[in-house]
Structure 1
Amino acid sequence: MLAASLPAAAQTKDKEPEKPVTDDTVTVGDVAGTPLNDLNITRDEIPPLLIQARQDPYNSKDMKKCGQIAAAVGQLDAILGDDLDIAGEKSNAVNAGRVAKWAVSRFIPFRGLIREISGAREHERQFQDAIVAGMMRRSYLKGLGEAKGCKYPARPADEETISRIEYERQVMAAEAAIQKPDEKAKGASVKDEKPR
């Protein structure tokens, strides 16, 4: 049964869009992959940029210009998600995905011991350490950019920048909400059309 589950879980993981490593939204693939993760058969690989950050978070080589700093911060933002200066409210509400993942994990007897023996727990620790190092690196780079007089994103966001970003996000959310009913209407009209 485990061998049959592996390809399905791998396929589910491949179809999911990339999301920041700090995004804890639970997907169907996450729920299905819980037993495989616990056995350390499948696992999220640590992004190379975070491995570099763990090795040398305060490296300022090649960070002479604001553009270089902004590019490096942008790469970390793509992996880590928004920095604290512009992150919106994070919801820790209970949702179906989290409940399902919790329920699936409870079916595994001696889960903690299995995770220790398989190496899954150690990998999780290393992954979390790499995330912290990436955040430290991003903070260091923003401090470096601020000292050089760079503009956001090579420095922390000021109130004006935060307001602009929040406004842009609201506009994007409104546009997405408008597009969803349009897509449903198009789908309904296609279904209504019958071949003759």
Structure 2
Amino acid sequence: MKNMALVITAALALSACATSKEQSRITEIAGTPLRDLNISKPDIPTALREALDKPYAMPAKQDCPSLNAQLDALDDLLGPDIDVPEEKQDRTEMARDMAGKAATGALQNTVEGAIPFRGWLRKLSGAERRSNEVQHALLAGKIRRGFLKGLMQARACSVV
């Protein structure tokens, strides 16, 4: 119980000075016990579910604007692709990002460590299986994005 009070205090302290990206990460970490018990199940968006079913299916509309729209939808879900150059950060921003990642990582380790027999609980509750489904959907989305980019290149479409 003392550990959970410490976790809640740390989460509140971190969220007070965090950016919106870090705040969403802290909220995600705070929901870890609910996901571990399979009470809160992460949703798989429709675009990723479709990619999971048929990652190499030819799109119904194959014109450049339609392909770009599908690509944008996947980029919104998956984040930037590997071929998108990262923005340059100055040392202050890099230090702030590193400190934020270290703090949220420590919070995540504390939350996960506060749950006894976490691995078994995840397996027995079905949370491990659900987590694997989400990871497979993310991978399928990345594969679908690569397929769409190849299709766009073959059609001489420019990626917007």
Fold-level similarity (TM above 0.5):
yes
Which residue number in structure 1 is paired with residue 28 of structure 2? 30
Instruction: Detail structure 1 runs of 4+ shifted over 2 Å in the superposition.
Output: 24-28, 91-94
Aligned-pair Cα RMSD in Å: 2.5
Matched position secondary structure for 2:145: helix
Q: How many angstroms apart in 1 are the aligned matches of 2:23 and 2:50?
A: 26
Equivalence for 2:50: 52
How much identity, in percent, do the aligned residues show? 37
Q: Aligned partners of 2:29, 2:80: CA distance in 1, in Å?
A: 25
The structure richer in helix per residue is 2
Deviations 1:70-90 (A, max 9, x none): 01101111111111110528x
Distance change in 2, residues 1:138/1:25 (3 Å): farther
In the TM superposition, what are the counterparts of 1:169-180 in structure 2 within 5 Å?
A: none
State how far apart, in whole Å, the 2-side matches of 1:64 and 1:100 are. 45
SS where residue 27 of structure 1 aligns?
Answer: helix
* Cα distance in 1 for residues equivalent to 2:77 and 2:143: 13
Per the TM alignment, residue 101 of structure 1 is displaced from its structure 2 partner at its CA by 1.2
Q: Are residue 75 (structure 1) and residue 82 (structure 2) matched?
A: no
Structure 2 unaligned blocks of 5 or more:
2-19, 88-93
Between structure 1 and structure 2, the one with the greater Rg is: 1
1:101 to 104, 108, 113: 108
Taking the aligned partners of 1:146 and 1:108, their CA distance within structure 2 comes to 48
Residue aligning to 1:142 = 149
Q: CA deviation at 1:98?
A: 1.4
Q: 1:25 to 1:62 in 2, by over 3 A?
A: farther
TM-score (norm 1): 0.61
Instruction: Give the TM-score normalised by structure 2.
Output: 0.74
Equivalent position SS for 1:63: coil
C-alpha displacement at 1:148, in angstroms? 0.5
**Offset of 1:26 from its aligned partner?**
6.4
User: Is contact 1:26-1:97 (8 Å) kept?
Assistant: no
Determine the structure 2 residue equivalent to 1:12: none
In the TM superposition, residue 112 of structure 1 has moved relative to its aligned partner by 0.2
May I ask how many residue pairs the two structures share in their alignment? 132
